[in-house]
Amino acid sequence: MGSSMKPLPSNRWWCKDMVAVVTGGNTGIGFALVRQLAMLGLSVVLTCRDVSKGNKAVESLRLQGLHVSFFRLDVLDHSSIKDFVSWLRETLGGLDILVNNAAVSFKEIGENSVVHAETVINTNFYGPKLLTEALLPFFRRSKHMSRILNISSRLGSLNKVSNPTVRKILEDEENLSEERIDNIVQKFLEDVRNGVWNKNGWPEVWTDYAVSKLALNAYSKLLAKRYDGHGLSVNCYCPGFTQTSMTHGKGKHTPGYVADIGAKLVLLPPDQLPSGKFYVTSNKFLDSKL
């Protein structure tokens, strides 16, 4: 297995002391990103909720000659986040890269149910937000800039929303705030509880998943603006239709393919690194409303 290791790029600007944290790293895109970043010579922390699955993932990488750290992390659990942040601070001193990859969806392809809307919103939006806020003080914002890459989706693009009130709030970037984003999310959950979500202008495809990514995109844009010029880049990346457990193995892309792109995005040279952008699998970014 070790013979498949690629030589490190001759033009790399990073070093092995740079720490990258990947959530949901035991399978799919997350696992592929952990592997790719470790192959590129970073110190990688694989996190996931299930200890046995995390240990199995780490062992499989060890057999490939890659050594990564593992820590159990449930982004829905405040105490789990606190434990992880304490461990990271004491063990590695901080971090340079965060890839928020952990996410769920309960749909079959082509189905559009919101039965698990609250869980989807909590896992895909509030979880990454809570973790990010907890880790913000520990990013080592050096001359190379720290980086956050949120794995998102074009399903959460603003053009998928026909609700005029929601569109108006999200298009008003000058007055966008965490409170306003939260109000939108809570309004969606209220519509779900009242059974009117399907006629109130929310995204029509994979609705709860799309709204969770809509909120994550908006929060990413807000965070990028907050830290503009302060050593932290925040971007989103849509892998596209990828062959993972979420898509039941169907898709145009393999996890390895999109992880290669994701790693390139998160390791852009400091002088080429934007913030507040939405990338797609074509390796180009859309300078548009998130």
CATH number at 243 reads 3.40.50.720
Residue 7, pLDDT > 90, answer no
Rounded Cα gap, residues 184 and 210, in angstroms = 13
Mean pLDDT of 6-20: 81
Average pLDDT over residues 165-182: 95
- Residue 176 predicted with pLDDT over 70: yes
* Cα gap 49→72, rounded to integer Å: 5
92, containing H or E segment? helix 78-92
What is the per-residue burial (b if ≥16 Cβ within 10 Å, else e) of 13-24? ebeeebbbbbbb
Q: Is residue 6 part of a domain?
A: no
Confidence of residue 239 (pLDDT cuts 50, 70, 90): confident
pLDDT in tens, 14-54: 999 999 999 999 988 899 999 999 999 999 999 999 999 99
Rounded Cα gap, residues 197 and 206, in angstroms:
12
Whether the CA torsion 36, 80, 49, 113 is positive or negative: it is: negative
Number of folded domains that form the chain = 1
> What pTM, to 2 d.p., does this model score?
0.90
Q: Which residues sit opposite 278 in a β-bridge?
A: 236, 286
Which residues form the catalytic set? 209
Q: Is residue 65 part of a domain?
A: yes
Tokens of 196: 């009117």
Mean pLDDT of 99-104: 92
Q: Is the pLDDT of residue 224 over 60?
A: yes
Tell me which of 170 and 284 has the higher pLDDT: 170
**Residue 252 confidence (pLDDT):** 62
Q: How many helices (H) and strands (E) does the chain have?
A: 9, 8
d(CA 33, CA 48): 13
Look up residue 229 and give its two tokens: 């010029």
Residue 235, CA distances (Å) to 16, 91, 223, 262 in order: 23, 27, 9, 11
Average pLDDT (166-175) is 94
* Position 111, amino acid: E
Q: Is residue 127 helix, strand or coil?
A: helix
Q: Determine, yes or no, domain membership for 11.
A: no
User: Does some domain include residue 7?
Assistant: no
Could you report the per-residue pLDDT of 199-221, keeping only the tens digit for each? 999 999 899 999 999 999 999 99
**Residue 8: per-residue pLDDT:** 58
Out of 47-56, 86-95, 258-267, least confident range: 258-267
Confidence of residue 281 (pLDDT cuts 50, 70, 90): confident
223 is in which domain, residue-wise?
Answer: 16-286
User: 7-21, 81-95, 275-289: which has the minimum mean pLDDT?
Assistant: 275-289
| Residue at 10 is within a domain | no
Looking at the domain assignment, is residue 91 inside a domain?
Answer: yes
Whether the pLDDT of residue 245 is over 60: the answer is: no
Can you tell me whether residue 208 is helix, strand or coil? helix
* 288 pLDDT tier (thresholds 50, 70, 90): very low
User: How far is CA 9 from each of CA 92, 267, 276, 278, rounded to the nearest angstrom?
Assistant: 24, 12, 27, 25
The band of 104, judged by pLDDT with boundaries at 50, 70 and 90, is confident
| Residue 125: inside a domain | yes
Check residues 108 and 56 and name the one with the higher pLDDT: 56
- What is the model's pLDDT at position 9? 64
What is the reported pLDDT for 257? 87
Nearest in space to 102 (alpha carbons), one of 32, 150, 157, 155: 150
Q: Is residue 138, in this structure, part of any structural domain at all?
A: yes
pLDDT surpassing 70 at residue 62: yes
